[in-house]
């Protein structure tokens, strides 16, 4: 396992799920909220929908430490902002493939906006 990669069993569980619990910040005072996870080549990504100043994405920008809730496990992570255009494009393609239902289309299209595209993180071990 690479130092920048989560364990394969955790990644597989995240990839199989439609919702991932994330908690921003090093303290356990915050609650877990659900986001749509994407896995590409063993790497785990998330993108903010609302991009609110008090939302999970900005909390991770202020303090990149946090946790993921994967089934019954809580995995400590660090959020790393994603800026590479090729990776961002691949994430958008992965959203389209993973969330193909009619009810999901609005969100899949919306994730392509510049504001949301800029609010993409990769979750790595801490």
Q: Do 56 and 14 contact (CB within 8 A), yes or no?
A: no
Instruction: Convert the pLDDT of each residue in 13-58 to its tens digit.
Output: 999 999 999 999 877 677 899 999 999 999 999 999 999 999 999 9
* Coarse DSSP helix, strand, coil percentages of the chain, rounded to the nearest 5 percent: 30, 30, 40
Tell me, what's the pLDDT at 1? Answer: 43
Choose which CATH entry (1.20.5.510, 2.60.40.10, 1.20.900.10, 2.30.110.10) describes domain 8-125: 2.30.110.10
Q: What contacts 87, CB < 8 A, 6 or more positions away?
A: 40
Domain limits of the chain?
A: 8-125
Model-level pTM greater than 0.75? yes
Question: Residue 114 and residue 14: Cα distance in Å, rounded?
Answer: 25
Give percent of the chain with pLDDT exceeding 70. 97
C-alpha to C-alpha distances, 87 to 70, 83, 94, 120, nearest whole angstrom: 23, 8, 10, 10
Report the C-alpha dihedral over residues 122, 93, 70, 10, rounded to 10 degrees: -80
Please give the helix or strand (H or E) that residue 55 lies within, else none: none
DSSP, collapsed to helix, strand or coil, labels residue 104 as coil
């Amino acid at each position: 396992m690479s130092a920048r990669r989560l364990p394969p069993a955790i990644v597989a569980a995240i990839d199989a799920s439609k919702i991932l619990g994330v908690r921003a910040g090093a303290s356990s005072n915050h609650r877990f909220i659900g986001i749509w996870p994407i896995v590409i080549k063993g790497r785990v990504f998330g993108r903010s929908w609302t991009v609110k100043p008090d939302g999970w994405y900005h909390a991770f920008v202020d303090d990149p430490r946090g946790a993921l809730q994967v089934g019954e496990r809580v995995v400590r992570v660090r959020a790393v902002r994603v800026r590479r255009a090729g990776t961002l494009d691949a994430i958008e393609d992965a959203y389209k493939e993973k969330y193909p239902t009619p009810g999901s289309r609005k969100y899949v299209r919306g994730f392509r906006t510049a504001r949301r595209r800029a609010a993409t993180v990769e979750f790595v071990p801490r």
